[in-house]
Structure 1
Amino acid sequence: MFRLMNVTRRFGGHAAVNAVNIDIPQGQMVGVIGRSGAGKSTLLRMINRLVEPTEGSIRFGDVEVSALRGAALRNWQRDCAMIFQQFNLVPRLDVLTNVLLGRLNHRSTALSILNMFTREERIMAIAALERLGIEQTALQMAGTLSGGQQQRVAIARALMQQPKMILADEPIASLDPLNAKVVMDALRDINEREGITVITNLHTLDTARNYCERIIGMSAGKVVFDGAPRELDADAVRSIYGAGADGSEIDETMTSTSIRRPSGPLVQDNIKESASVKPLALAGI
């Protein structure tokens, strides 16, 4: 069980996140929605400990995450992988090396400095790329890829951490609808096949409904909705987003990306099974 108890973050006199209490069982896929400035990103950054909580407790099982320091904190950030809106890749490094960087917290300092990755780690990296359908980009510079490809590289890097939880901060905000669908399919596939908890911030209601089994709505730093997609009705949407200037309901089509989860086999551009690792020659293996 992952638990946030009275978690608050203040910046000066402003509470970006205000007394949030959430319990998340292992293996859930959770979407966090709300207006810009609602506190979604700050919440995820506190979970990963990129931002320190001002008050409250963050726990994962018996571990008091909010009290971790030093090596224990680095281990948590390894176990709680973070995927960012802007990908956070190293543009001048090739894709394979970017993915291998996900192993740094599993290695000694000396090996990390020497950038010495094992054959097994290279096989893992190629398998992660193949699973996401982009193994052919392994030797390309990361900066030459499209936005959708770069986000898939970021997901492959997160998989290399062998995490217990994945946090995705607006992972599709800068992507077109097709690439957004590919990325969300990938996150859902990881959640279902590995049983990894996924918490993702989203700004599109249709995406949250189609992909997440649980939706948390935030407004002004507080949780104002926490329920299943079917419970996200007009009243709930109003409590999260408010109303238009004329008092009208929010038009959900304004945030729609027309993403729909496929009912049949995944299309070619989507996730591929990684039962075998074919392009090992790319990595010099």
Structure 2
Amino acid sequence: MRLKLQDLTRQFGKKTAVDAVTVDIAPGQMVGVIGRSGAGKSTLLRMINRLADPTSGSIHFGDVEVSSLRGSALRHWRRDCAMIFQQFNLVPRLDVMTNVLLGRLDHRSTLASILNLFTREERLLAIAALERLGIEQTALQPAGTLSGGQQQRVAIARALMQRPKMLLADEPIASLDPLNAKIVMDSLRDINRNEGITVLTNLHTLDTARTYCERIIGMSQGRVVFDGTPDELTADAVHQIYGVGDASTFDEGMTSTSITVPQPTAEHTGIHPSSGVRSLATV
């Protein structure tokens, strides 16, 4: 199902955070949204997930008008449109397994959720999600004891437990070191390619967007100023998005931290060939 945004606008008082954005995203695309801080990237994703309501405009996913959903229909949409945050949003005192299982809450009865009655099938799904991301050995650890990279992979596993139709990632690698950033982005690309799930992710890093995303949307002052392939992201386009310096001398290094790293040796990794995800178990 296609995601269609039509003249989507969000205002905070007199400030327009997102200004008449019209975008059509085909099923199964991996799309990176880039731009300076304050360009409207996070607000855009929050509106798609309906964590923020549009001031005007519409959001459609297939035949569903997302922007008009209320009550249980809105809860179902948030289940189908999973969100991954920069700060992980895990429960630090709960073990990793339980944090992942929380992704099933919208699939279960209220009583079962209150009593924490997860089925054997749900627990097997949670273990499979952790194995896919190379962190099954952390299942019984409190989430707060994990590294940042591991916590973000737990958040991705929790999102997978929702069985989403779309995955939104709001700056998923902004607080990670380059190696963990690579592992997380490899995981998102694997999910996109192998599951066919549409992935829409906000990124600060141009090199990451070029490497992982088949389509890049550039925002500036709440508007879409670029929408194209990585090959079409020329120096002039980058200058228009970031609005600094001269296009001919613009240094992309100012926007990114490279996540290109040497491949670790097999004895230091937890590699799962069946999933295609390269994961560093000791990180």
Q: Does 1:241 align with 2:264?
A: no
Write the letter of the residue equivalent to 2:136. E
Give yes or no for contact 1:211–1:261 (8 Å, CA) kept in 2.
no
Q: Does the CA-based 8 Å contact 1:30-1:214 persist in structure 2?
A: yes
Correspondence for 1:29: 30
**Alignment partner of 1:117: what SS?**
coil
The residue correspondences of 1:122-201 to structure 2 (distance < 5 A) are 122-201=123-202
Instruction: Give the CA deviation at 1:256.
Output: 3.0
Instruction: Judge conservation of contact 2:179–2:261 (CA < 8 Å) in 1.
Output: no
Q: Is the 8 A contact 1:218 1:225 kept in 2?
A: yes
Cα separation, 2, equivalents of 1:158 and 1:164: 11
Equivalent residues, number: 273
Q: Distance in 1 between matches of 2:180 and 2:168?
A: 19
1:53 aligns with 2:54: yes
Give, in whole Å, the separation in 1 of the partners of 2:23 and 2:239: 21
State the secondary structure of the residue aligned to 1:159: helix
Partner letter of residue 22 of structure 2? Answer: N
Q: d(CA) in 1 for partners of 2:249 and 2:23?
A: 28
Q: SS at 1:253's partner residue? A: helix
Aligned to 2:11: 10
Runs of 4+ in 1 over 2 A off after TM superposition: 246-250, 254-263, 265-275
What is the distance in 1 between the residues matched to 2:36 and 2:120? 45
* 2:225 aligned with 1:231: no
Q: 1:103 to 1:262 in 2, by over 3 A?
A: farther
**TM-score when normalising by structure 1:** 0.92
Query: Is the contact between residue 130 and residue 274 of structure 1 (CA under 8 Å) also seen in structure 2?
Result: no
Cα distance, 1:145 vs structure 2: 0.1
* Alignment-derived partner of residue 69 in structure 2: 68
C-alpha displacement of 1:243: 1.7
Q: Retained in 1: the 8 A contact 2:218–2:241?
A: yes
The amino acid across from 1:55 in the alignment is: S
Cα deviation 1:32-80 (Å, max 9, x = unaligned):
0000000000000000000000000000000000000000000000000
Q: 1:108 to 1:65 in 2, by over 3 A?
A: same
Residues 180 and 274 (structure 1), Cα distance of their counterparts in 2 relative to 1, 3 Å cut: closer
**Alpha-carbon distance between aligned partners in 1 of 2:261 and 2:223, rounded to the nearest angstrom:** 30
Q: CA deviation at 1:203?
A: 0.1
Match of 1:280 in 2: none
Identity percentage of aligned residues: 77
For 1:128, the aligned partner's letter is: A
Shift of 1:251: 1.3
Contact 1:19 1:222 in 2 (8 A): yes
Segments of 5+ residues of structure 1 without an aligned counterpart are 276-285
Q: Residues 88-107 of structure 1 correspond to what in structure 2 (within 5 A)?
A: 88-107=89-108
Report the AA paired with residue 250 of structure 1: F
Give the distance between the partners of 2:7 and 2:273, measured in 1 at CA: 41
Gap change, CA 1:98 and 1:215, over 3 Å in 2: same
Paired residue type of 1:94? D
Normalised to the residue count of structure 2, the TM-score between the two structures is 0.92
Corresponding residue SS for 1:190: helix
CA contact (8 A) 1:185 1:271 kept: no
Determine the structure 2 residue equivalent to 1:258: 258
Report if aligned partners of 2:97, 2:127 keep a CA contact under 8 Å in 1.
yes
The answer to whether the Cα contact below 8 Å between 2:103 and 2:158 also exists between their aligned partners in 1 is yes
- Which stretches in structure 2 are left out of the alignment for 5+ residues? 277-283
Alignment RMSD (CA, Å): 2.1
